[in-house]
Amino acid sequence: MNTTEPTLSRRSGGVGAKLALIAAGLLSIALLIFVLQNTVHTTINFLGWNADVAQGISLLAAAVVGGVIALVVSAAIRLRKTVS
């Protein structure tokens, strides 16, 4: 009786994946240092909302919102090219 069972192979990430993980870790540490060093509180006024937050947090939030907007716009452009 000859049965062949599938073998599970363990694939480890390549060098690029490891470098990306290291870069992400370094970026996270740099962002943490940035936020901890910019603790001066500022008042943010937007469409009637008022918030008193640390400057580092507000700048980081603005960068995240900008990144999300860039992702949405690029996805819309790619979708439009695919449909056309």
User: What is the full per-residue pLDDT of the chain (84 aa) written as tens digits?
Assistant: 566 655 555 566 688 888 888 998 898 898 889 888 888 898 988 898 898 988 888 888 888 899 899 999 999 998 888 887
The answer, as to whether pTM is greater than 0.85, is: no
Least Cα distance to 56 among 34, 33, 28 occurs for: 34
Q: Which runs of consecutive H residues, i.e. helices, occur in 4-84?
A: 15-37, 55-83
Ramachandran class of 47: left when φ > 0, alpha when ψ lies in -120 to 50, beta otherwise: left
| Cβ within 8 Å of residue 13, ≥6 positions away | 21
Q: Where are the domains of the chain?
A: 15-83
